[in-house]
Amino acid sequence: MLIKEETEKQLKDLKDLLDDIQYIIDSPIWSEEEKYEKIFSENVSKKVFSLFREIGTKLDYYDPDSSCQEDYMAFYQAFQEKMNQMLK
């Protein structure tokens, strides 16, 4: 079934992006500002939002608008929680 295969591919892509974000967060080579810029970029967060739209849902998260670290961690935690809900 094509629809199911496409959704499975999108879920795999989302899981890969979640792993990418975890790698960025854990990396000691980038500053908090660099991590923020990498996560909130065309290649990461915009793809995440686009993939969620494609499968008919969205990612909502509270942006504390404080430090770079608090902002990207809020996004990551909401993304992780949403994935856990979807994969149950």
pLDDT digits (tens, 9 = 90+) for 19-58: 999 999 999 999 999 999 999 999 999 999 999 999 999 9
- Return the pLDDT at 2: 46
- Return the pLDDT at 50: 96
d(CA 56, CA 41): 22
Domain ranges of the chain: 2-86
Tokens 């879920």 sit at which residue? 11
Average pLDDT score over the chain? 92
Question: Running DSSP on this structure, what letter comes out for residue 66?
Answer: S
Task: Decide if pLDDT at 3 tops 60.
Answer: no
How many angstroms separate the first and last alpha carbons of the chain? Answer: 21
The DSSP code sequence of 24-63 is HHH-TTS-HHHHHHHHSSTTTHHHHHHHHHHTT-------
For the entire predicted model, the pTM comes to 0.90
- Residue burial 45-65, b: 16+ Cβ < 10 Å; e: rest: bebbeebbeeeeeebeeeeee
- Return the pLDDT at 1: 42
